[in-house]
């Protein structure tokens, strides 16, 4: 029976419009049955997520073409939400269900007023782990830590002498260091600087916030931060901060486990104004903390005063956004209550609707379930976009020899499930502070069975580095032309290696830069700027043996990213190529050789 019935949710002739829809928008469904199926009636059944009783729509017989009958239904869904649908054929042999591999087809319905900031679309994000990017001369940046200030370029500490990892080795990267490199970042085409946490903290990563109202003294003072915001703006860049609102530091003014702060912390006394921010199992030493890590006690979902401090008028988000911050990235957003996320959105947008709100989500964010609850991020009152980890895995897997069909499947699933306005502002990363460096992953070296000390000391030899770089160039060409905004982790454009945290967080060696790789990223940045409109257009794939062909289209203008992840030359057949954008070379032939382990980005002539 399956062979006799055809429906493809990605085919606009079967479902129009493609993908997610605005509430109240008319949707046309068409399904086709070949001769041999004796159909008495067809139903479209639409289930609101979490509901067992469907909305039922009768599908009308529309016409017959050859041996194929077409059935049609036009549907309007006025309630925002996540839906699933399937088709039920009434036949002489009983009911037959057409669904997606035993599950319903997904339909995302978003608020008709849902908009996301246009200024970031077609841009480039650069992700800076501030302590390790660059150290500038600033007398206002002061080292006042329980730890060690190392020389720039020293190896990172993976464990202290007592066997504990405290993340308290510092290198002094600061705001002035970023200011000094703004011309460099401008050459890369960067439009948004995403900074790892900058608030006062005991650690080098600063995800254990000590005081949301104060900048970490090692980075510089508020005056220097304001200078960074201003000078970045002058160079066409906004600043996005890391909002860590699920947990604080144990060494904080709020918890104050180590008596660092003058205020009475929750750990010190039940009379502390912050006591009800935390959940204690056995006071004071046993408490709920993020993933069992005692230096990061989790903030209770019931802590209304904490939430007010973050989102109320004049609160933490207002304080820093009013200085000119253009965006916030929410750490572990799936651990925050949805009403808190909505309040954060209101605060972020309070002074400027064009401010950006991104969430850390590692899966498909349109249907994610976390802690047994369905999460809603794209219905209009929550996030603008997310960190696009599904694309990350797809890019790296393909670059390492994966199948083009699997890459296409992953990409088009996200394209179909996300509202277009969300898709256009997703962060397309291929690595981050939480993962191994893309270059190291793309080396293909098997690190299973090795210890962290071995991985710390390991460096690719000349041949291994060359192979990994070829794959990185290939991967980044996809990263920069997929729907969404590419996010470059600091140093990827320089050829930085490194495995898991903290090995992916080394200082940059500004005296030894891979010039070829840097030039490639500069070219990618220019393509993003010049062809932003096309790269915010439609997405589709073409098929050719041995090649992956990613197509972006805006009206009659088309860009095709053609990638060969194999070991031999493949031919790309196209009669209307105007030029290859990475090399900026004019193309005057219809058959183009694509070298092994390489990518080309073609601009087509308008027809």
What pLDDT digit, counting tens, does each position of 367-399 carry?
Answer: 999 999 999 999 999 999 999 999 999 999 999
Q: What is the pLDDT of residue 556?
A: 94
- Residue 606: the pLDDT is 84
Mean pLDDT within 461-488: 98
Arithmetic mean of pLDDT, 512-518? 97
Q: Could you read off the pLDDT of 200-227 as tens digits, one per residue?
A: 999 999 999 999 999 999 999 999 999 9
For the segment 279-301, the average pLDDT, to the nearest whole number, is 97
- Predicted confidence at residue 38, as pLDDT, reads 79
Beta strands (DSSP E) in 92-206 are 94-98, 105-110, 125-128, 148-149, 169-170, 192-195, 199-201
pLDDT per position as a tens digit, 555-584: 999 999 999 999 999 999 998 999 999 999
The whole-angstrom separation of Cα 529 and Cα 344 is 30
What is the Cα 323 distance to its own chain's centre? 25
Q: What is the mean pLDDT of the chain?
A: 96
**pLDDT tens for each residue of 77-111:** 999 999 999 999 998 888 999 999 889 999 999 99
Domain ranges of the chain: 2-110, 247-298, 534-604
172-178 average pLDDT score: 98
**Among 466, 528, 415, CA closest to 106:** 415
Give the DSSP letter string of 504-527.
T-PPP-TTS--HHHHHHHHHHHHH
Note the pLDDT of residue 34: 85
What pLDDT shows up at residue 1?
55
Superfamily of domain covering 2-110: Immunoglobulins (2.60.40.10)
Q: Cα dist. 309→65, 305, 346, 511 in Å? A: 64, 6, 14, 44
N- to C-terminal Cα separation, the chain: 41
Given a cut of 80, whether residue 37 has pLDDT beyond it is no
Grade residue 2 by pLDDT with cuts at 50, 70 and 90: low
Tokens of 481: 């032309």
In the chain, the percentage of residues whose pLDDT exceeds 70 is 99
Does pTM top 0.95 for this prediction? Answer: yes
**Beta pairing partners, 427:** 387, 485
Q: Return the pLDDT at 52.
A: 93
**Helix (H) and strand (E) counts for the chain?**
14, 34
Average pLDDT over residues 274-298: 97
- The top-level CATH class assigned to 534-604 is mainly beta
Q: Is the pLDDT of residue 278 over 80?
A: yes
User: Averaged over 122-129, what is the pLDDT?
Assistant: 98
pLDDT(518) > 70: yes
- As a whole number, mean pLDDT of residues 428-435 equals 98
Same-fold call for 2-110 versus 534-604:
yes
Rounded to whole angstroms, the Cα distance separating 582 from 564 reads 15
């Amino acid at each position: 029976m399956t062979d006799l019935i055809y429906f493809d949710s990605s085919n606009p002739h079967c479902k129009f419009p493609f993908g997610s829809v605005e509430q109240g928008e008319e949707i046309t469904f068409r399904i086709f049955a070949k001769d041999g199926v004796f159909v008495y009636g067809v139903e479209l059944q639409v289930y609101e997520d979490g509901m067992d009783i469907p909305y039922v729509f009768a599908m009308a017989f529309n016409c017959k073409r050859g041996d194929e009958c077409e059935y049609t239904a036009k549907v309007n869904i006025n309630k925002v939400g996540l839906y699933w649908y399937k088709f039920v054929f009434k036949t002489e042999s009983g009911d037959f269900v057409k669904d997606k591999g035993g599950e319903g087809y997904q339909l995302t319905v978003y608020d008709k007023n849902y908009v996301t900031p246009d200024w970031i679309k077609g841009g480039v994000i650069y992700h800076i782990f501030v302590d390790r990017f660059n150290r500038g001369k600033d007398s206002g940046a002061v080292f006042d830590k329980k730890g060690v200030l190392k020389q720039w370029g020293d190896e990172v500490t993976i464990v202290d002498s007592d066997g504990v990892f405290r993340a308290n080795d510092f290198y002094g990267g600061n705001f002035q260091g970023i200011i000094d490199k703004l011309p460099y970042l401008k050459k890369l085409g960067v439009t948004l600087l995403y900074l790892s946490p900058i608030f006062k903290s005991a650690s080098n990563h600063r995800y254990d916030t000590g005081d949301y109202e104060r900048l970490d003294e090692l980075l510089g003072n508020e005056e220097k931060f304001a200078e960074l915001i201003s000078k970045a703006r002058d160079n066409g860049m906004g600043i996005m901060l890391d909002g860590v609102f699920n947990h604080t530091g144990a060494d904080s003014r709020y918890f104050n486990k180590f008596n660092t702060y003058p205020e009475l912390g929750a750990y010190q006394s039940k009379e502390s104004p912050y006591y009800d921010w935390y959940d204690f199992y056995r006071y004071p030493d046993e408490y709920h903390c993020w993933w069992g890590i005692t230096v990061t006690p989790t903030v209770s979902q019931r802590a209304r005063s904490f939430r007010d401090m973050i989102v109320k008028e004049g609160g933490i988000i207002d304080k820093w956004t009013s200085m000119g911050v253009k965006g916030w990235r929410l750490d572990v957003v799936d651990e925050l209550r949805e009403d808190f996320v909505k309040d954060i959105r209101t605060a972020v947008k309070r002074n400027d609707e064009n401010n950006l709100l991104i969430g850390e989500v590692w899966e498909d964010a349109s249907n994610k379930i976390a802690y047994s609850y369905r999460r809603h991020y794209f219905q209009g009152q929550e996030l603008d976009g997310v960190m696009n980890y599904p694309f990350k895995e797809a890019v790296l897997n393909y670059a390492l020899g994966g199948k083009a069909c699997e890459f296409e499947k992953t990409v088009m699933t996200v394209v179909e499930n996300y509202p277009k306005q969300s898709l256009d502002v997703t962060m397309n990363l291929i690595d981050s502070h939480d993962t191994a460096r893309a270059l190291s992953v793309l080396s293909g070296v098997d690190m299973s069975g090795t210890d962290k000390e071995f991985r710390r000391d390991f460096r690719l030899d000349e041949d291994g580095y060359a192979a990994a770089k070829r794959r990185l160039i290939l991967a980044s060409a996809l990263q920069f032309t997929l729907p969404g905004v590419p996010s470059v982790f600091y140093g990827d454009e320089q050829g930085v290696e490194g495995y898991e945290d903290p090995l992916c967080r080394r200082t940059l060696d500004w005296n030894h830069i891979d010039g070829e790789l840097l030039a490639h990223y500069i070219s990618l940045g220019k393509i993003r700027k010049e062809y932003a409109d096309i790269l915010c257009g439609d997405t589709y794939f073409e098929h050719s043996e041995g090649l992956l062909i990613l197509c972006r289209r805006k009206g009659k203008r088309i860009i095709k990213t053609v990638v060969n992840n194999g070991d031999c030359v493949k031919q790309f057949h196209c009669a209307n190529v105007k030029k290859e954008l990475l090399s900026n070379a004019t193309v005057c032939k219809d058959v183009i050789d694509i070298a092994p382990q390489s990518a080309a980005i073609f601009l087509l002539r308008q027809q």
